Amino acid sequence: MVGTESILGKSEKIVLLSSLFLLGVFIGSGFSLPTLPAGSVYDTELHPNDEQAYQRDDDVIGNPDYFDIFGHNWVNGQQLDIYLSSDLGLDGGPYINAKLGDVFLYDESGTRLEYFIPVRDHSPGYDGNTMLTGVVYEVETTLLSDDYYTGWPTYKYGDSEIVTADWDGTRTGKSATVSWTAGPDYNTISLLFAGDYGFDGRGIRFSYTCGNDVHASAPVPEPATMLLLGVGLIGLAGFGRKKFKK
């Protein structure tokens, strides 16, 4: 009997510790970032396809003070705000050998990149095309971080990441005004769309051309994150219920 109780006690401890660990992962993923405005979607994207195996579980490759993208928020249905590290302007700032990539919008199902909006004018010498700031294009051909960093050691950037789109993007007749606001905890890129295009709430993809950090989100809460929270809470609830019955 004593042996059975001892085994049960060990099992309960394992359940409790596992639940606390899962909740810690969930809470840590949110609170390691600055507090963003209510309704924001926090960045949880990693680099699962990176050539360097040790970088696949990294949020940011390199200095997070320069490359970190914290998340985004849809404001009043027609404005998209993207929050990122301080001291970087629309040209990428003086600290990094990279520029801002395009803002991609997923389709309504969240499975395909449907539109993109440059937040800076593309130049033939750097991008190989002349896409214009604030114009909404349809996605046809995308460019990877590797296209910008040919010949660079792959450990220095996030390789194989979609960062911009190429020449054959079709103009949609839609547009947005792009602006930059500096702040003490993060900077904000704002895209104020000229009309109600039905983009509100869509998932987005955004990165620097180096791909050192990528923010990609589905239109609904990220399932893996919600699973961590749910499993953690269920585990704690079950543990508490068992203790109460005793």
pLDDT of residue 218: 66
* 230 — pLDDT class (breaks 50, 70, 90): low
* Averaged pLDDT for residues 29-43: 81
pLDDT of residue 73: 97
- Residue 5's CB is within 10 A of a number of other CB atoms, namely 9
CA 125 vs CA 122, 148, 162, 214: distances in Å: 9, 11, 19, 24
Bridge partners (DSSP) of residue 178 are 191
Q: Is the dihedral of CA 223, 228, 229, 233 positive or negative?
A: positive
pLDDT of residue 93: 60
Taking each helix axis as running N to C, give the angle between helix 2-31 and helix 223-245, from 0 to 180 degrees, rounded to the nearest 10: 150
Q: What is the pLDDT of residues 217-228, one digit of tens each?
A: 865 444 444 444
Residues 6+ apart with CB under 8 A from 229: 22, 23, 26
* Averaged pLDDT for residues 178-184: 91
Per-residue buried b or exposed e for 153-177, using 16+ beta carbons within 10 Å of the residue's own CB: eeeebbbebbbbbbeebeeeebbbe
pLDDT of residue 223: 44
Which sequence spans correspond to the domains of the chain? 1-38+222-246, 45-220
In angstroms, the CA 159 to CA 153 distance is: 10
Q: Where are the alpha helices (DSSP H) in the chain?
A: 2-31, 64-67, 145-148, 223-245
pLDDT of residue 168: 66
Q: What is the pLDDT of residues 109-130, one digit of tens each?
A: 999 999 999 999 999 999 999 9
H and E: helices and strands count for the chain: 4, 12
pLDDT of residue 220: 47
pLDDT of residue 213: 94
Q: At residue 207, what are phi and psi to the nearest 5 degrees?
A: -160, 165
Average confidence score pLDDT of the chain: 81
* 198 — pLDDT class (breaks 50, 70, 90): very high
* 22 — pLDDT class (breaks 50, 70, 90): very low
* Averaged pLDDT for residues 4-20: 51
* 98 — pLDDT class (breaks 50, 70, 90): confident
* 238 — pLDDT class (breaks 50, 70, 90): low
In angstroms, the CA 72 to CA 37 distance is: 9
Are residues 104 and 215 in contact, defined by beta-carbon separation less than 8 angstroms?
A: no
Q: Sort 37 into a burial class: Cβ within 10 Å, 0-12 / 13-18 / 19+.
A: exposed
Are residues 140 and 129 in contact, defined by beta-carbon separation less than 8 angstroms?
A: no
CA 181 vs CA 35, 53, 193, 194, 238: distances in Å: 16, 36, 17, 19, 47
Residue 39 has pLDDT above 60, yes or no: yes
pLDDT of residue 31: 45
